[in-house]
Amino acid sequence: MEESSRRTFLKLAGFSALGLGAKPVLDAFASSGGVQSKPMVMKGEKALQAKRWALVIDTRKFKSEKDLEPMIEVCHKIHNVPKLENKRHEIKWLWTEEFKHIFSSQTHDFLDERVKDLPFLTLCNHCEKPACVRACPTKATFKRADGIVLMDFHRCIGCRFCMAACPYGSRSFNFRDPRPFIKETNLKFPTRMKGVVEKCNFCAERLAVGKIPACVEVSKGALAFGDLGDSKSKVRELLSSNFTIRRKPALGAGPSVFYIV
């Protein structure tokens, strides 16, 4: 009798323990099929997508600095780029240079008159193999899947390694608080703070809502923007029908900005 009562006690205790242990498991199963779903993130429906974005600049359509001004103006306006008169503090996303400066390895003393004095539009080349990305110690600058080389200002520590690495001088450093030097702030776009590097972003914020870059939009057809991975795109069409050059090709950075000279 004593023996068997001990046995029954143990049996009972065992079953109770099993029951207690099973409850949380059953609860978890019951709640997983609930109505409440987890929040998600996604791309906008109108977002433009590409394998590798590129820009083709038809310099034959430009005569003087005046033709380029509207593009620079719209770019700097919508991106809250400050205007600093001091050359050493200057911030530029899109600007002009002479042929001999931007194509320093392709120039000579006997350039034709048109090209010699023509201002060339210059910007970040959104390289295939960007040196700035390799140099950045915090991954503040990175290459997106669609080829755009972007800045994450949240992460930039202002070390300027990227500026030293960039062979095209496409990057500017905020030596001063840029806000007092922005004439009209575009409320839809953030400004930058003192101590970060900035550059052209190929209008990533516009591509996300289905718009092409602002400079292309106001270029009256002189600039073409498109996907290098799509053989039927406007840029591929232009590249296959015109002779184009890129800046400092020997460096192997693989710029995505092409010039028809």
- Which residues contact other proteins by CB under 8 A? 36-44, 47, 80, 142, 144-146, 150, 152-154, 185, 187-193, 204, 208
Candidates 195, 181, 199; CA nearest to 82 is 181
In the complex, the smallest distance separating the C-beta of residue 20 from other proteins, rounded to whole angstroms, is: 31
Candidates 193, 196, 208; CA nearest to 46 is 208
Closer residue to other proteins, CB minimum distance, 26 or 42: 42
| DSSP annotation of 138 | S
In the complex, the smallest distance separating the C-beta of residue 127 from other proteins, rounded to whole angstroms, is: 18
Closer residue to other proteins, CB minimum distance, 153 or 175: 153
Compute CA distances 237 → 154, 231, 243, whole Å. 38, 8, 12
The first and second tokens of residue 25, run together, are 């498991």
In the complex, the smallest distance separating the C-beta of residue 152 from other proteins, rounded to whole angstroms, is: 5
In the complex, the smallest distance separating the C-beta of residue 195 from other proteins, rounded to whole angstroms, is: 10
Residue holding tokens 């030596």?
A: 175
In the complex, the smallest distance separating the C-beta of residue 145 from other proteins, rounded to whole angstroms, is: 8
Candidates 201, 212, 206; CA nearest to 81 is 201
Closer residue to other proteins, CB minimum distance, 193 or 245: 193
Closer residue to other proteins, CB minimum distance, 165 or 204: 204
Residues 65 and 119 sit within 8 Å (Cβ to Cβ): yes
Pairing relationship of beta strands 197-198 and 257-260 according to DSSP bridges:
unpaired
Closer residue to other proteins, CB minimum distance, 87 or 183: 183
Continuous segment of H or E residues that includes residue 229: none
Q: Write the CB contacts of 206 (distance below 8 Å, at least 6 apart in sequence).
A: 212, 213, 214
Closer residue to other proteins, CB minimum distance, 197 or 261: 197
In the complex, the smallest distance separating the C-beta of residue 247 from other proteins, rounded to whole angstroms, is: 26
| DSSP annotation of 145 | T
